[in-house]
Amino acid sequence: MIKVCKFGGTSMADKKSIEQVVKVIRSDEDRRFVVVSAPGKRFSGDDKITDLLYQSFNERFDDRQPSFDKIKERYISIVKELALDIDIEKYLYEAEQGIESSRTSDYAASRGEYLCALIFANILGWQFIDAADIIKFNSKGQFDSETTNDLVSARLKDANNAVIGGFYGSMPDGAIKTFSRGGSDITGSIIARGAKADIYENWTDVNGFMTADPRIIKNPIPIDVLSYDELRELSYMGASVLHPDSIFPLRYSNIPINVRNTFEPENKGTTIVNDVGAMGARLVTGIAGKAGYVSIFIKKSMMNNELGFARKVLSVLENNGVSLEHVPTGIDTMSVIIDGNELKGDKEHKLVEEIMASTGPDRVEVSKNLALIAIVGQGMAEKIGTAAKVFNALCKHEVNIRMIDQGSSEMNIIIGVAESDLKKSIVALYEEFFN
């Protein structure tokens, strides 16, 4: 059996956590390939190494370089406390020089994982593989999955054990390119696919996925098994245990993901598979919510008879580089739901002006402070009355529903409420479906 393991930033934070990771790896000889993140926070108020690296890039023309001084201190301390035989100062100097000559922040951001992988390979006595050699992006900066898979498979074929840094790869010209934040999860999946692993273990600091946010619901029920589709829905709506894009390298290879807690390795965590049917699809698997959305409401009489109306609205968003979340519609009305982070500066005003010029509506209204909540479960498509339960639960708690949307797969019901009602709504829904 081959197991690929990815360990998050908390697992790499200090001597004690790193020693715990070593213990986990050595407890199972099937754990042959390891992907590591950059060291995370050791305590509240501490700095993540990746944040310091971004700051270091911004300070690269500053003679003082305070952020990189903190980075050097952290890595030198780790090596010293673990009594490792590695010239970490040489690698830190190379990283510092590379950051100073970089045109983008990608190289700087990647050094946290790179240095951590060097250290961890030294601890285990395993081969170190630079992710830049095997994970490739095309000339447009898009991940090249098939070239990467061929390179990973060839490199790991003759390797018994190896450590790889997460989060980054390289462009055709050799320049470092990073995934989005949290991209070490994606690297882990890529390595698992290339290694033809039997399972991909993603080790973090929580016991897998919960049926609701534990910051809102005290001791929510854990989720033993999730489908890939359910994971996508819950992660999209704020269940941030695992990067939602990390499933794509694995789902068509049918490699399960097991999310585990480094600090409670006896807990089996959550297993993510293609189909939970054999294990029993639940009516509702989980509830997740996120604030910060904006609704642009458009009203125009006889809209339904106007050919291309929706296309005109969506073209305005596309031309302004704004992503769309949901589009609830009626005969004479249409709303576009947008993440508020997309509307910085004067973009909101610009969108409204261009929509009015393009479509000639009777009215356009912008509503802010909207929260979206997803009720997710594979069993909803087969069960009558799920929506009624949702609405009754919110009615009992005097929550006004401002938007309703259901995915075509019938795996989720998404509702919009005022941000001030987000926590109250999740409590109401949890009581309805899980108590």
Same domain, 46 and 163: yes
Residues 6+ apart with CB under 8 A from 55: 67
Is 410 or 309 the better-scoring residue by pLDDT? 309
Task: For residue 251, tell me if it sits in a domain.
Answer: no
User: Quick check: 279 pLDDT over 70?
Assistant: no
Report, as an integer, the average pLDDT of 374-383: 82
Distance CA 273, CA 432 (A): 27
Task: For residue 128, tell me if it sits in a domain.
Answer: yes
* CATH number where 111 lies: 3.40.1160.10
Is 153 or 276 the better-scoring residue by pLDDT? 153
Span 310-326, pLDDT tens digits: 999 999 999 999 999 88
Tell me, what's the pLDDT at 249?
Answer: 87
Query: Cβ(426)–Cβ(434) under 8 Å?
Result: no
Task: For residue 168, tell me if it sits in a domain.
Answer: yes
Span 180-227, pLDDT tens digits: 888 899 999 999 999 999 999 999 999 999 999 999 999 999 999 988
Among 43-52, 59-68, 259-268, 420-429, name the one with the lowest average pLDDT. 59-68
Query: Cβ(188)–Cβ(4) under 8 Å?
Result: yes
Share of the chain above pLDDT 90, in %: 81
Same domain, 201 and 294: no
Domain final residue pick, 176, 205, 234? 205
Tell me, what's the pLDDT at 280?
Answer: 54
User: Quick check: 262 pLDDT over 70?
Assistant: yes
Same domain, 67 and 168: yes
* CATH number where 307 lies: 3.30.2130.10
Band (pLDDT 50/70/90 cuts) for residue 409 is low
Task: For residue 134, tell me if it sits in a domain.
Answer: yes
N- to C-terminal Cα separation, the chain: 39
Q: Residue 6 class from Cβ within 10 Å (0-12 exposed, 13-18 middle, 19+ buried)?
A: buried
Distance CA 387, CA 380 (A): 9
b/e code 294-317 from CB counts within 10 Å (16+ = b): bbbebebeebeeeeebbeebeebb
Same domain, 34 and 139: yes
Domain that residue 126 falls in = 3-205
Tell me, what's the pLDDT at 278?
Answer: 47
User: Quick check: 34 pLDDT over 80?
Assistant: yes
Is 252 or 277 the better-scoring residue by pLDDT? 252
User: Quick check: 104 pLDDT over 80?
Assistant: yes
Report, as an integer, the average pLDDT of 251-268: 93
Tell me, what's the pLDDT at 396?
Answer: 94
Tell me, what's the pLDDT at 145?
Answer: 95
Report, as an integer, the average pLDDT of 140-146: 96
Task: For residue 307, tell me if it sits in a domain.
Answer: yes
Work out how many domains the chain is built from and give that number. Answer: 2
User: Measured on CA atoms in the order 263, 268, 273, 276, is the torsion positive or negative?
Assistant: negative
Tell me, what's the pLDDT at 61?
Answer: 84
Same domain, 307 and 414: yes
Tell me, what's the pLDDT at 234?
Answer: 87
Report, as an integer, the average pLDDT of 246-273: 92
Share of the chain above pLDDT 70, in %: 98
Report, as an integer, the average pLDDT of 103-131: 97
Task: For residue 371, tell me if it sits in a domain.
Answer: yes
Same domain, 188 and 337: no
The whole-model pTM stands at 0.87
Domain final residue pick, 205, 235, 265? 205
Task: For residue 269, tell me if it sits in a domain.
Answer: no
Tell me, what's the pLDDT at 252?
Answer: 80
Same domain, 295 and 198: no
**Average pLDDT value over all residues in the chain:** 93
Task: For residue 259, tell me if it sits in a domain.
Answer: no
Domain final residue pick, 158, 179, 205? 205
